[in-house]
């Protein structure tokens, strides 16, 4: 470590994107390109929807959700740029957790807007607000504005469907929860567009409440996604047990790490404390030496290297010889 707190060369070589193997670095570059494409497509969609929103609650909701869709890719791009920085004296673990911070930012914004839309749409229903969708002149012909809105929304559905599937395919091999949340947002985008189309058609059929109900459904979808992602982001930033990219279960790598440690000839028992740093994991492995074994630094280093080589996500490993496993670790493992 230099006097200025800059990372030493040996640490810098294993930080940020350099901590990822070649395959994951390639996938990350592809994900970055997808996010730039997402921002460009979303900017065009937001402009088109805003120009036709008028007094339609469903169109306003779709416009707000399209604008929200800019947050995950922007947060992702900022985070992936920040993780390039190596560890320093002030940040000894590096900056991998920037991914978790980006996840939190996107989740909070998503939840706030979901709640806002819930309140706004409910007020529209209670006050019996009847949104006007009138006529517009197009090439000298009077056309119902609803048809233009529907056409724009159909066009707006296409990019999220394609981009969302591509991002989802990259989220698991990268173990990237921001990318997963963004694919979830893309799904909400095209779903909200379909709901908005239904609401506009309802207005055309004289069902004044259809517009507000469609907006309410969109708001519920946004709020559900916001709560899910907020819970996941807080769990990660408060050192909850490392989980899979979709938060469905504790990550199976934890059991594999413990099994590998228990296979060491000098280890009687072992339990791991695994922290999700973003793309990579920090592992603290508690090991109980077998009776009569004298633990040396070389033995711990061999075990550390063995655990590190088990999976690319295993970034930092600490071996902690103990007389007995911590009670909470034994309970968690059992």
pLDDT digits 0-9 by tens, 175-223: 998 898 888 888 877 877 777 787 778 777 777 777 677 778 777 877 8
Can you give the pLDDT at residue 61?
64
Q: Say what the pLDDT of residue 78 is.
A: 92
Write down the pLDDT at residue 28: 92
What is the reported pLDDT for 1?
40
Label residue 10 by pLDDT band (50, 70, 90): very low
Evaluate if residue 294 carries a pLDDT over 50.
yes
Among the listed residues 163, 122, 143, 149, the one whose alpha carbon sits nearest the alpha carbon of residue 38? 163
pLDDT classification of 6: cutoffs 50, 70, 90: very low
pLDDT at 151 over 60: yes
What percent of the chain clears pLDDT 90, i.e. is strictly above it? 31
> What is the distance, to the nearest Å, from the Cα of residue 332 to the centroid of all Cα atoms in its chain?
26
Domains, the chain, in order of start with CATH, read 9-237 (1.20.1510.10), 253-333 (3.30.70.1350)
Spatial CB neighbours of 34, under 8 Å, sequence gap ≥ 6: 163, 166, 167, 170
Identify the bridge partners of residue 316 per DSSP, sorted by sequence position.
282
Alpha-carbon 283 to chain mean position: 22
Model confidence at 297: pLDDT above 80: yes
Cα separations (Å) of 100 from 1, 229, 327? 26, 11, 28
Average pLDDT of span 144-162? 82
The mean per-residue pLDDT over the stretch 293-311 comes to 93
Percentage of the chain exceeding pLDDT 70? 83
Please state which of the ranges 9-18, 126-135, 267-276, 302-311 shows the lowest mean pLDDT. 9-18
Of 24-28, 86-90, 267-271, 294-298, the one with minimum mean pLDDT is: 86-90
pLDDT the model gives residue 327 = 72
Q: Average pLDDT for residues 254-274, to the nearest whole number?
A: 94
Identify the CA nearest to 105 among candidates 67, 78, 66: 78
pLDDT tens-digit series, residues 40-57: 998 888 887 777 665 555
pLDDT of 317 above 80: yes
Cβ distance 248 to 115 under 8 Å? Answer: no
Residue 251's pLDDT is 93
pLDDT higher than 70, residue 140: no
Q: Provide the pLDDT confidence category of residue 129 given band limits of 50, 70 and 90.
A: low
């Amino acid at each position: 470590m230099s006097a200025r707190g800059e990372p030493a060369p040996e640490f810098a070589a294993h930080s940020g994107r350099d901590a990822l193997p070649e395959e994951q670095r390639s996938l990350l570059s592809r994900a970055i390109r997808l996010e730039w494409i997402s921002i460009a497509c979303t900017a065009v969609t937001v402009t088109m929807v805003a120009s036709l929103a008028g007094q339609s609650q469903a169109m306003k909701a779709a416009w707000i959700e399209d604008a929200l869709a800019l947050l995950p890719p922007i947060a992702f791009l900022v985070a992936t740029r920040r993780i390039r920085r190596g560890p320093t004296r002030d940040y000894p673990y590096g900056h991998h957790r920037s991914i978790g911070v980006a996840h939190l930012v996107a989740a909070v914004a998503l939840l706030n807007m979901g709640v806002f839309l819930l309140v706004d749409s409910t007020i529209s229903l209670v006050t019996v607000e009847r949104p006007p969708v009138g006529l517009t002149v197009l090439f000298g012909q009077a056309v119902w504005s609803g048809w233009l809105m529907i056409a724009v929304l159909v066009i707006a559905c296409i990019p999220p469907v394609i981009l969302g599937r591509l991002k989802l395919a990259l989220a698991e091999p990268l173990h990237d929860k921001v990318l997963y949340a963004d694919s979830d947002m893309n799904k909400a985008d095209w779903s909200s567009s379909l709901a908005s189309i239904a609401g506009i058609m309802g207005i055309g059929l004289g069902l004044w409440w259809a517009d507000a109900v469609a907006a309410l459904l969109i708001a519920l979808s946004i709020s559900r996604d916001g709560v899910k992602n907020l819970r996941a982001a807080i769990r990660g930033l408060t050192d909850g047990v490392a989980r899979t990219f979709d938060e469905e279960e504790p990550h199976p790598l934890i059991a594999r790490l413990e099994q590998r440690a228990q296979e060491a000839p000098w280890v009687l028992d072992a339990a791991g404390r695994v922290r999700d740093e973003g793309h990579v994991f920090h592992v603290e492995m508690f090991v109980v030496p077998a009776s009569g074994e004298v633990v040396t630094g070389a033995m711990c280093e061999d075990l550390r290297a063995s655990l590190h080589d088990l999976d690319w996500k295993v970034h930092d490993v600490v071996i902690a010889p103990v007389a007995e496993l911590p009670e909470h670790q034994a309970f968690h493992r059992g």
